[in-house]
Amino acid sequence: MSKQIYDRVALIGLGLIASSMFWAIKRAGLVGEVTGYARSSETRDTARRIGLCDRVCDSAAEAAEGSDLVVLCVPVGAMESVMKEIAPVLKPGATISDVGSVKRHVIETVQPHIPEGVHFVPAHPLAGTEHSGPEAGFAELYDNRWCLLVPVENSDPKAVAALRGLWEGMGANVEEMEADHHDLVLAVTSHAPHLIAYTMVGVADDLRRVTDSEVIKYSAAGFRDFTRIAASDPTMWRDVFLTNKDATLEILGRFTEELFALQRAIRTGDGDHLFDYFTHTRAIRRGIIEAGQDTDAPNFGRERAKP
């Protein structure tokens, strides 16, 4: 039985996420033809050179025309303008999806431009690395990782089912989630942690210790992890914070309160507070492991598997 889910899929924006999708799609033979478009001619040239996409097009509209599924893989702040550009060429019955890290903003800016008869099923794969661009992708990125589908009101069940099939075929575990809830959950699990990592590395640099070779040489795993995360793409993360403002600010507010409490405990020598707090957080980590939910990037850094 054929595993093919769509005849033609267009990937708009050929970076880490789109290139990983392409290799994963090819690995499993999920799509007849994959077209692709990126804004810069340099990226399009690179894509052609490494065989990323069956056909690399010179405009988003050319890539989207005739496609059964178009996936917007650009930074969240660029989704609306791409959607406006491709809207006139979409074929009736096609599905528009995206991979943006924020969902409410994407729905508010993209949905108004979806033509009558075209389906819209936003999505977000919870997998990535600090690398970006067309050469950063690899087929295993989504293996055993979550992909959240965030259907809008009146999303066509068949369009949702087909997209679910595509993500499952790429190796992901799929669940559905409501947009505001998604944005709050991601503010806790991804957005605030990234901001904290950016800050920590910035603070260390202020102290002129990051570039000190001894600090790098002897830095413990915790700080190394911060520097990895703080190397993530500036455009992508600028857009995430500007478009998930409320949830991120709420979580950062709570974070600051907890931090102040810990700061006070250190200043006043309140060892009980510190011990109880760390005992509580250790129990959370152990609970995650016992529930089999440890998502420590098992696929980070693997070689890209060519189709």
Ligand X SMILES: O=C(O)C(=O)C[C@]1(C(=O)O)C=C[C@@H](O)C=C1
Ligand Y SMILES: NC(=O)c1ccc[n+]([C@@H]2O[C@H](COP(=O)([O-])OP(=O)(O)OC[C@H]3O[C@@H](n4cnc5c(N)ncnc54)[C@H](O)[C@@H]3O)[C@@H](O)[C@H]2O)c1
Helices 221-229 and 192-206, interaxial angle, to 10°? 110
Least separation in angstroms between residue 259's CB and ligand Y is 25
* CA pair distance 196, 223, nearest whole angstrom: 12
**Pick from 43, 97, 155, 243: which binds ligand Y (CB under 6 A)?**
43
Q: Does 179 bind ligand X (CB under 6 A)?
A: no
**Pick from 32, 66, 133, 165: which binds ligand Y (CB under 6 A)?**
133
Selection from ligand Y, ligand X, none that 190 binds (CB < 5 to 8 A by kind) is ligand X
Please check whether residue 151 is in contact with residue 160, taking contact to mean a CB–CB distance below 8 angstroms.
Answer: yes
Closer to ligand X by CB, 103 or 119: give it. Answer: 103
Closer to ligand Y by CB, 7 or 58: give it. Answer: 58
Three-state DSSP state, 250: helix
Output the CA angle 64-103-118, nearest 5 degrees.
Answer: 35
> Of 76-84, 165-173, 271-279, 286-294, which segment contacts ligand Y by CB under 6 A?
76-84
Three-state DSSP state, 266: helix
Neighbouring residues of 232: CB distance < 8 A, sequence distance ≥ 6: 128, 130, 132, 194
**Pick from 27, 33, 55, 78: which binds ligand Y (CB under 6 A)?**
78
* CA pair distance 128, 20, nearest whole angstrom: 9
Selection from ligand X, ligand Y, none that 297 binds (CB < 5 to 8 A by kind) is ligand X
* Cα 260 from chain centroid (whole Å): 31
Selection from ligand Y, ligand X, none that 78 binds (CB < 5 to 8 A by kind) is ligand Y
Q: Does 190 bind ligand X (CB under 6 A)?
A: yes
By CB under 6 A, the count of residues binding ligand X is 8
User: SS3 letters for 215-240?
Assistant: HHHHCCHHHHHHHHHCCCCHHHHHHH
* Cα 207 from chain centroid (whole Å): 32
Q: Does 129 bind ligand X (CB under 6 A)?
A: yes
> Of 24-32, 33-41, 127-135, 280-288, which segment contacts ligand X by CB under 6 A?
127-135
**Number of H-type helices and E-type strands within the chain:** 13, 9
* CA pair distance 93, 67, nearest whole angstrom: 10
Q: Does 101 bind ligand X (CB under 6 A)?
A: yes
Q: List residues near ligand X by CB under 6 A.
A: 101, 126-130, 190, 297
Q: List residues near ligand Y by CB under 6 A.
A: 12-18, 38-40, 43, 73-76, 78, 81-82, 99-101, 125, 128, 132-133, 136, 233, 236, 240
